[in-house]
Chain A
Amino acid sequence: MEKLPLGLALDLRKVVPYETGSWRTLLPVNIMQTPPCNHGCPAGNDIRGFLRTLAEKKDYEEAWHVLTRTNPLPAICGRVCPHPCEDGCNRRDFDSPVAINSAERAVGDYGLEENLEHKKLIAARKEKVAVVGSGPAGLSCAFHLAKRGFQVKIFEAYGEPGGMMRYGIPSYRLPNYILRQELDNIMKLGIELECNIKVGVNIPMDQLIQHYDAVFMGIGAQRGLLIDVPGQDAGNVFSGVEFLREVNSGKYVDVGKDVVVIGGGNTAMDCARVAKRLGANVSVVYRRTRVEMPAITAEIDEAMEERIMFRYHTNPVKIISDDDKVVGILCVQMELKEPDASGRARPVPIAGSESVIPADMVILATGQAVDYDGIEVHTRDNKWISANEDLMTSIEGVFAGGDAVLGLETVSAAIGQGTRAASAIEDYVDGSVESRLASPPVIYSKDLNTYYYQKTRRFQKEALPIHMRLKHFKELYPALDPEAIIDEAERCFSCGLCFNCGNCFMYCPDNAVKISEKAGLYEFDLDFCKGCGLCAKECPCRYIQMTLEK
C-alpha cells in the first residue's frame, strides 16, 4: 500500500463516493413546456425561440430564421398583428408583457435589409399544387409547400399579389414596399405567380383540380356586405372593402368634406383613418358602444387620437341623396337591451330620436363575405367555406383556409391556416396519416418562480405626432432601435425552457446537477440525486419538474 503523509487517513483523490441516489422517491426531469405566447399565436410562431435567440446571442439573423420557420411574413405581422401573444405573456402578471410585436417587426425588418433568404428543406418534388389567392393564407401555404419541394403556382384575381394585405390594409399601417419585399423573398423559393386570373371566372375550378395534385383556396372575404339601408345605390356610397381597394390601388378618390363610416370593425377604422388622411371630417356611426366594437383596441385609440368622431348608439335609417349624390344620412338613436345570440347587448331604436348627419360620402363597413363566383363548395352558415379538420373542403383534394374559412380574422390566423393546410396537403399527396406530436402543457404565471426576475420597463414604440400623421400615408411607427429590442427580448421569462440561470446547478445540496459534456446543458446525476425537489422549486421557468420515481 502506498504510504500517505502523516496524519492523512486516506487519499481523498481515490475516494469512491457513496451513491445516495437510491434514497430517492421523486425524480427531477427537464421538461420543455409550451409558453403562453406560442400557445396564443395563431400563426404558430416560436416566439420564445426567437426572443431567446435575440437575448442570448444578440443575433438578428438567427432570430429571423427561427421566426420564418413558421411565418414567412414577419415584417408584416410585426406591423399589423393584434398580438394575442402579448395578452397571454406571463410577464403581464409581473410588470408588463414583453413587446413581442415590436420585436417581431425589428427582426422582420432586419431580414429585409440584409436580404436574408429562406432555405429549402427538400430540393424538389414533381407534385404540383395550385394556390388560389395570394393573401396571407395562400402565401403561407405556398411558402411551406415550396420549402418542401412542391411545384407551386399561385393564381391571383387582382393586378398585384398580397390579397387584403395589398388592397385592404392602408399603407400608413403597412407600407407597400415592405409587402413587396417579403413577397419577392417568398417567390424566390421558385413559386410561380399569375395575376389577373380569377379562378372560377377566367379559368374553371375543374381545370385546376385536373392539372394539379392538390388545390388550396385562400380566397379571403373580398366582397363587401351591405346592410339594408334605403338609398344605398346613390353615388358616393362605398362598401368598406371597395373604398380601401380603390385607395390602395392608387386611384384618386374624392371624399368631399364630410365622410360617414358605418360599422365598428377593423375595416371601419381603416376606412375612417384613410378618409381622414384624404382630408375629410370623419364620423364613425356605430349602434352599440365602444366596448362592443369588434375592432382592435389600439386601432380605436389611434383613430380617436386622430380626431375621428365616434357616434355610439346610432343606427342609419336612410341615406339621403340629392341628384344621385349623397348629402346626408338619417340616423336614429338606439338603446341597449338584453344580450343577443352573439353575447353583445341588443340595440333597440328609441322612437322619435331621428337626426340627420351631413355627408358627402358614406362608407358601409358592415361586414364582408366570400366571393363564390364560379366556385361551388359546401358552406357553413351559408357564409364561409366548410372545411374538415385537415382543412379539406367538400371537393376531394381541394383545401381552403384563411378568412374564407374562419370568417373575418387576422393576418396571423390566415398564416397559421396556410401552414396547417400545407402539412395536410403534403400528407394528402403522400397518402400518409398526419402524425403531429401533441404540444406539451402551457405554463402560466402561477407555475413560475418569479423571484429571480427583475422588474423592468416595457419597450414603447413611438408613433408619429398627430399633426404629422394626417397629411400623408407614411408609416405611423418609424423604424425601431435594434439595441432597445434586444433589451426588450431579455425581458422574456423563457417560460418552460432552460435559460441557463444556473440555480439548479448552484442550489443542489448533493452536487447532483452537472453540465453535460456534449450539449453543455444541465442534467441530473441520478447516482446522487436524493429527490429533494429544491432544483424544481427554485427553477424560475419551471423547466424542471418532479415526477414519481419509477
Chain B
Amino acid sequence: MREQSKYLEGVDKKDLFASGHRACGGCGQALAARLVADAAGENTIACVATGCLEVFSGPYPDPSWRIPFLHSLFENAAAVASGVDAAYKALKKGPVNIIAQGGDGSTADIGLQSISGMFERGHNVLYVCYDNEAYMNTGVQRSSFTPYGAWTSTTPTGNTTRKKNMPMLAADHGIPYVATATVDDFRDLQLKIRKALTIVGPKYIHILAPCPLGWGHHGELTVEICRLAKDTGLFPVYEIVDGKVTNVKKIPAKVAVEEYLKPQGRFKHLFKKGVPAKEVDEIQEIANQNIERFNL
C-alpha cells in the first residue's frame, strides 16, 4: 500500500458528500460541497437552501449527504440554521458545526434578509455561498452575482450591471470572519472552512464554483476557469478577519481577462465579430480595480 501522498498533507477526503449525486459532469458546486463537508467533518449539520445543490444531492431515497441534512426554502437557509443553533443552545447540546449553504441567488437576492438577520443576531453558524453567478437550477436566469457582460436567459445581450460584492456586505455586518475561495485551490478552501469553524459567531465564506452548463464551458475546464478567474483579478481571494482584509492571494502572473472570457460560452457574444467588444475593456477595468483595491 502506498503511503498517503505527501502532496495531500493537510487535506481531508472523507466522502461525507458521497458519489451518486445528479450534478452535471465537472460540476464546480458538487466539488465545492464535498470539500466543505470533508473539511467540516462528521459533527456537522448541513442546512441547504433550495437550488441546484439541494436538487442534485437530496432526492429520496438516495441522498449524497452522509451528515445530517436539512432542506429549506429558497430564502431561509440562514434562518433555519439560526433555528438549529437556537435549539442546540436551548437543549444545552453541542458543540456542533452548523453550516448553512446556498447558491448565489438564495444568498444575494432572495435570502439576503435572513442572512442579514442571522449575522446581526450573532448565531454560531457558518454560511457558505456557492457562487455560480446565475440561477442555474431554473435555467440560467440573471442573479445579482451575474458578472458584467455575461449572457443569461434573461440578459440575452449581456448583463449590464456589475456583480454585487457580497463578502464586503457580510463583513460590514461586523462578523468575525469572512473569506473567499475557489475550488481549484482545495487546500486553501479546506483551511478556511476549518479556520472558520473554530471561530464562535456568524461566519461567511464565498466560494467560486463554475457551472459548466450555465457558463458554457466543457466540464474538464472547471478548475482551469477558477484559476483564470483568480489570475485575471476578477475573483480576488482574501480573508476579512475582524473587519480587516488579510491573506490576500497574490497573482503569480497577471493574465488578461480575454483568457478567462474566451473559453466560456456565456461571453461568446463579446467576441462575435472577431474583435473583442467594448464590454471586454469594461471587464478588464473591473479586474484592474480589484487588483488595485486588494493589492493582488
Contact = CB atoms under 8 A, between A and B. Distances in A.
Contacts of A505: 8, 13
Given A9-B60, A16-B62, A501-B7, A510 B21 contact: yes
A5 to B, nearest CB: 10
Given A505-B8, A520-B2, A531-B25, A17 B18 contact: yes
Question: What does DSSP make chain A's interface, helix, strand, loop or mixed?
Answer: loop
A64 to B, nearest CB: 22
B241 interface: no
Given A500-B6, A534-B222, 7 more contacts: A9-B60, A15-B63, A18-B20, A509-B31, A510-B25, A511-B34, A534-B26
A12 B26 contact: no
A533 B220 CA distance: 5
A19, A527, A528, A532: which has the most chain B beta carbons within 10 Å? A532
Interface in B6-37: 6-8, 11, 13, 15, 17-28, 30-31, 34-35
A24 B24 CA distance: 11
A334 interface: no
Contact of B60 (A10, A19, A515): A10
Interface residues of A, number: 42
A204 interface: no
A534 B20 contact: no
A451 interface: yes
Contacts of B35: 506
B19, B60, B223: which has the most chain A beta carbons within 10 Å? B19
Interface stretch (B64-72, B243-251, B267-275): B64-72
Contacts of A17: 18-20, 62, 64
A9, A517, A546: which has the most chain B beta carbons within 10 Å? A9
A502 interface: yes
Contact of B7 (A500, A515, A537): A500
Interface of B: 1-3, 5-8, 11, 13, 15, 17-28, 30-31, 34-35, 60-68, 186, 212, 218-224, 227
A538 B20 contact: no
28 contacts: A8-B68, A10-B61, A12-B63, A13-B66, A15-B18, A16-B62, A17-B18, A17-B62, A20-B22, A500-B7, A501-B5, A502-B5, A508-B31, A509-B23, A510-B21, A510-B25, A511-B18, A515-B2, A530-B219, A532-B25, A533-B26, A533-B220, A534-B219, A534-B222, A534-B223, A536-B220, A537-B223, A538-B224
A518 to B, nearest CB: 8
Given A507-B31, A509-B26, A509-B34, A12 B66 contact: yes
A519 interface: yes
B224 A537 contact: yes
Question: What does DSSP make chain B's interface, helix, strand, loop or mixed?
Answer: loop
Given A15-B61, A509-B31, A532 B219 contact: yes
Nearest to A517: B1
Interface of A: 8-10, 12-13, 15-20, 23-24, 451, 500-502, 505-512, 515, 517, 519-521, 525, 527-528, 530-534, 536-538, 546
B2 A20 contact: no
Contacts of B8: 502, 505-506
B54 to A, nearest CB: 14
Contacts of B224: 537-538
A519 B2 contact: yes
Given A532-B26, A532-B220, A533-B220, A510 B19 contact: yes
What are the 8 tightest A-B residue pairs by CB atom distance, in nearest-first order?
A: A17-B20, A532-B25, A520-B2, A533-B220, A532-B219, A532-B26, A530-B25, A528-B19
A520 B8 CA distance: 14
Nearest to A501: B7
Contacts of B1: 517, 519-520
A506 B64 contact: no
Contacts of B3: 520
A16 B224 CA distance: 33
